[in-house]
Amino acid sequence: MILPGLAAAHGPTRQKASETVTIDAAPDKVWAVIQNFGDMSWHPRIAIADASKGNEKGSVRTLGFTSGGMMEEELSKYDAAKMSYSTFIGHVDTDLLPATNYSSTIAVKPANGGAKSEVTWRAAFYRGYPNNDPPAELNDEAAVNGVTAFITEGLENLKKKVESGS
């Protein structure tokens, strides 16, 4: 016997977003743009970024958003040889990103025999409102849509920047 309403009584479930873009440039050229944890100028929503300890694990970068507002993101893993790094945002400003407990990995891999690059950005997170009955702007769907948009905008701008040589 299942009690009505009991299934919905648990907390939020971890959500995921993943996007990949192919860039018409060699992986080392793409990696050169994103490798510096303290520089996120390739993302259109980020006005300023600064990392306390550069690319060292545990480094914290302060992100200033073009819309106003700040967040801190910690570098949890950095692997230059594999052209990837992972980050964590413990306290997310839900006005900027409708999610909590956000972690992500961005990686550059060769494509088309190394003449092109494939950049994948994966994120895992919880919705912006951790309790039951979240408002629409902080529910699971809003979190997935918001994080996916953030990732997509970043990857599309990275592609544009690298391919235009700027």
Tell me which of 1 and 56 has the higher pLDDT. 56
Angle between helix axes 27-34 and 140-164 (nearest 10 degrees) is 120
Q: What is the pLDDT of residues 96-143, one digit of tens each?
A: 999 999 999 999 999 999 999 999 999 999 999 988 899 999 999 999
Q: Give the count of alpha carbons within 13 A of 20, CB side only.
A: 10
Would the pLDDT of 11 be above 90?
A: no
Higher pLDDT, 166 or 99: 99
CA separation for the pair 33, 87 (Å, rounded) = 17
Supply the pTM of this predicted model. Answer: 0.91
How confident is residue 10, by pLDDT bands cut at 50, 70 and 90? low
Using alpha carbons, select from 109, 127, 133 the residue that is nearest to residue 27. Answer: 109
CA angle 20, 90, 57 (to 5 degrees): 70
What does the pLDDT look like over 15-43, one tens digit per residue?
999 999 999 999 999 999 999 999 999 99
pLDDT of residue 110: 97
**Least reliable range by pLDDT among 5-14, 50-59, 111-120:** 5-14
One-letter-per-residue 3-state SS of the chain: CCCCCCHHHCCCCCEEEEEEEEECCCHHHHHHHHCCCCCCCCCCCEEEEEECCCCCCCCEEEEEECCCCEEEEEEEEEECCCCEEEEEECCCCCCCCCEEEEEEEEEEEEEHHHCEEEEEEEEEEEECCCCCCCCHHHCHHHHHHHHHHHHHHHHHHHHHHHHHCC
Whole-number average pLDDT of the chain: 93
How many whole angstroms separate alpha carbon 103 and alpha carbon 147?
Answer: 11
Task: Give the whole-number percent of the chain exceeding pLDDT 70.
Answer: 93
